[in-house]
Amino acid sequence: MKTFGLIAVLSALFIFEGTVFAQDNSSDWKLAATTDFAYYPKSDFVTGDSHFAPITGPYYTLECRETFSGTKTISVPLGDHFLLKDGNIAFVPACELTPIFIKPKFQIDYTPLPFLIFSGGASVGTGWNFFGFKGMQYLNEKTGEFDNLTTFKNLFSDIWGGVTFQFDTGALIPGDWSHVVMQACAKFTYESMSGIDDGDIWYWQSRFRVNGLYHSGSVTLAYQMPIALYRAGLMFEWFGYCNGNDYGKYADSFDGEFVQYDISLLTQWTITQKDSLIMLLNFGDQRSYAESHDDYFDEIKLTKTGREWLFKRIVFRWVHNF
């Protein structure tokens, strides 16, 4: 399968990069360009109950994305106490761009306390096909095949809200080598595709989707150092729809409430004062099926029987601050 899409495993890192571990309450606009790239080795599908799928080839697909963003932070202290004096609200307009989709978005982060962030946002986007890479499609029930959606006529949209808890041991233990940073995020997102009825299947950013509400989150534990290797740690993520019936007639066979898990080895490198690089080795799971198949687009019609664990991808994120 050839696809480009949003590198979902990096979604939590937008928050992780901008936490109060290195907080800047300046009221000036902060502009940044973020380049994401992911490489997937090949793992052949294995039928049956839960199992591990080994790597069977050097190449399966690639993903890439460029995000341009600006951040405007307004100080809103709740008091003079050291826990209250740095309260702020951040406004973050951004635009994601890949060879097969464009998605403007807007996010607001409210940080009343150093260890607590409330976030909300929304986005609208559209896609197209490009040299065999699939950007935006839907399952035509009459033919049983995936057909292309129409650029700018069919629009993806989502709206979400979440909360982040975070802590840095450096707040209690002085010293450059005393920073163990911990973060837990949880959010709910409602997404839909215009022109697609509820219960119908559509494809966007490398996976099947339906109009509906889903939950996602992450837990990160990392050690922070005053050297080029700025952080190293582990990140655990999950994703699943709140109501499996959103998948319509495929709700039972496809297991609409299936929760997908990922765990990643994470390193963050300081390249220059304006540039940083994050690298991930990502392991995770996906549905396992009773029937054998070769094409990802056949999976929505198959019978889920368990979990397939595999090494998924190597991910790079380059962030340049202007």
> Which tens digits make up the pLDDT trace of 47-60?
999 999 999 999 99
Residues 310 and 53: beta-carbon distance below 8 Å: yes
- Which domains can be identified in the chain, with CATH numbers? 8-321 (2.40.160.40)
- State yes or no: pLDDT of 132 exceeds 70: yes
Query: Per-residue pLDDT averaged across 110-136, rounded?
Result: 93
Lowest-confidence range among 6-20, 138-152, 207-221, 288-302?
Answer: 6-20
pLDDT, tens digit (0-9, with 9 covering 90-100), for 82-103? 889 999 999 999 999 999 999 9
Lowest mean pLDDT among 9-23, 143-157, 300-314: 9-23
Burial class (CB in 10 A: 0-12, 13-18, 19+), 256: buried
Neighbours of 127 (CB within 10 A): 28
pLDDT band at 24 (very low <50, low <70, confident <90, very high): low
Strands in 136-140's sheet, in edge-to-edge order, are 145-148, 136-140, 202-204, 207-209
